[in-house]
Structure 1
Amino acid sequence: MYYILSHYQLGRELGVGGFGVVYQAKRLEDNLSVAVKYVNKNADHLKTYYHPEGRRLPLEIVLTLMANEGGSNPEIIQLLDWKDYSDHFVMIFEYPAPCQDLEDYMKDRGDKISEGLAKIVMRQVIQAILVCCQRKVFHRDLKPSNLLINIRTLQVKLIDFGCGDVLRDSYYRTYCGTIFYLPPEFLYHGVYHANPATVWSLGILLFRMVSGRYPFFFTLLWIRWKIWHKRHLSKELLQLLHELLVVNPEKRMNLKDILSHSWFTESE
């Protein structure tokens, strides 16, 4: 029987979480550097979905395939191969070298990055998310550890669709993601929509990159009142954070408008 892992030599562990474990590896036939994700099937958390081919597959596989349909995108990780078994599934991803996840990249640089580099990262993340939206994919877990950055070229790739869902216009009643990025409307009302929740996550991500920490209650209040500031951050960046981290989702900036903000356009 064909077993996908027999075609790869596993290396060091890259990460582990509730949804599986990821290893760096080499494809035996050509020595290509890849990442191998191994996920046990657990009825308590594993979602499945009908792929257009007519097969019921783990939702993570379906979403990753959907995100890559219509041609690969440089800001979205490419799925090279996959196999679905009775008790687990395996996914083989490109693994551009040399790269780190953004969390480790920031830790090596004092837990934060410069405003200029944050702009480079954010632009690519937003472009990736916009492509995902066009392809009906809701990633739902934007955070530094789900972003790979090439340490030479600064190319960023969105990875790990394990917490995602199929994008829809109606609201979501369950949250699957990292608690620091939870949209306030879900906390207050128990429901949220994909677009404003994604914008909130982008605001938290941007804050984390330039400040080295997450915004907690009083910081979010100061942002809401537009009195939070840091000397080393531009007024355009502060304005963008104010518009991304609006508590009322109906007044929050729209996802498609973010790249038109002056923070992105002022030097163009």
Structure 2
Amino acid sequence: MLEKRATELISEDAVGGKNVKEPFCTQYRCGPLLGSGGFGSVFSGQRLSDGLQVAIKQISSDRVQQWARLPGEAAPVPMEIALLQQLSEVGGHGAVVVEALRFLHAHGVVHRDIKDENIVVDTRTLEVKLIDFGSGALLKETPYSEFEGTRVYSPPEWILSQSYEAVSLTVWSLGVLLFDSVCGDIPFERDQEIVRATPVFTRRVSKECQSLIRWCLSYRPEDRPTLEEILSHPWMVGGEGEGGGEGGDLQEDHSSLPKQSL
């Protein structure tokens, strides 16, 4: 797997009078372009100290909207790097997506772009890893008024009023992800469908799994479960959430998730 680390940033710009490309080039070798998007480009690379294969994200400083400072560093860095650094200091996350999100929230981070492309499954251990914190932010209890995640994973309140809270957004996105995992496609494509909040199951899915998905995709944010309530739901407790149930088998039916050998 191409691992993403907090230090793996190339910037062609000098930030705060300090060229951050120089220390980068002494630690990493940049390879071919893997892909690009609205926020930057991703290259394959190698860490020189031990040959570790990595993914290198290149961001132009004029595209960065939020900056932060790391302890002991004079120059500011993009918020994404600060969030990754904050998480790396407190250890790894759980083996399932919900536990990983609980870990993030417990350490003051909200991902804000939960979707299949940002989840990598180790095919040997079935360990789940969250990637790409480009849309992430520091966790707060008050509503957010900006969203740079994927629109088809956004909740009705964002579509209608451009406002949402961290947990309710996360849970809604989890519901979309879970539906995608068991049905092979997302439940909503258009804004009208998101606002209607009525998923139509296109495959045979257990009643427990359906009830959890419908709960996560409740129209009103206050009607959605917490992450703890998701973990205690019968579908999770009964083992289906870890791949043991009819029509709700995430391990067997996660064809939409990227699979890579770590």
* Superposition TM-score tier, normalisation by shorter sequence: 0.7 to 0.9
Q: Which segment drifts farther, 232-241 or 32-41?
A: 32-41
Secondary structure at 1:22 match in 2: strand
Q: Classify 1:4/1:260 alpha carbon distance in 2 versus 1 (closer, same or farther; 3 Å).
A: same
1:192 paired residue number? 164
| Number of aligned residue pairs | 217
Q: Classify 1:182/1:223 alpha carbon distance in 2 versus 1 (closer, same or farther; 3 Å).
A: closer
**Is 1:58 aligned to residue 82 of structure 2?**
no
1:69 paired residue number? 89
Which structure is higher in strand share?
1
8 Å contact 1:26–1:34 — kept in the other structure?
Answer: yes
Q: Deviations over 1:169-195 (max 9, x none)?
A: 001111121111111112222211000
Q: Which segment drifts farther, 206-215 or 11-20?
A: 11-20
Q: Classify 1:140/1:26 alpha carbon distance in 2 versus 1 (closer, same or farther; 3 Å).
A: same
Q: Deviations over 1:202-222 (max 9, x none)?
A: 001111122222212687688
**Is 1:208 aligned to residue 180 of structure 2?**
yes
Secondary structure at 2:169 match in 1: helix
**Is 1:47 aligned to residue 47 of structure 2?**
no
Q: Classify 1:15/1:125 alpha carbon distance in 2 versus 1 (closer, same or farther; 3 Å).
A: farther
How far apart in 2 are the matches of 1:38 and 1:125? 26
Q: CA deviation at 1:19?
A: 1.9
1:24 paired residue number? 44
Identity of aligned residues (%): 37
How far apart in 2 are the matches of 1:259 and 1:252? 13
Unaligned runs of 5+ residues in structure 1 are 76-122
**Is 1:143 aligned to residue 162 of structure 2?**
no
Unaligned runs of 5+ residues in structure 2 are 1-20, 241-262
How far apart in 2 are the matches of 1:5 and 1:27? 10
Q: How does 1:210-225 map to 2 (within 5 A)?
A: 210-216=182-188, 224=198
How far apart in 1 are the matches of 2:22 and 2:197? 55
How far apart in 2 are the matches of 1:222 and 1:232? 22
Q: How does 1:113-152 map to 2 (within 5 A)?
A: 124-152=96-124
The TM-score normalised by the length of structure 2 is: 0.74
Q: CA deviation at 1:52?
A: 5.2
RMSD: 2.5
Secondary structure at 1:9 match in 2: strand
The TM-score normalised by the length of structure 1 is: 0.72
Q: Which segment drifts farther, 133-142 or 52-61?
A: 52-61
Q: Classify 1:153/1:247 alpha carbon distance in 2 versus 1 (closer, same or farther; 3 Å).
A: same
How far apart in 2 are the matches of 1:174 and 1:221? 18
8 Å contact 2:154–2:173 — kept in the other structure?
Answer: yes
Q: Which segment drifts farther, 21-30 or 135-144?
A: 21-30
2:4 paired residue number? none
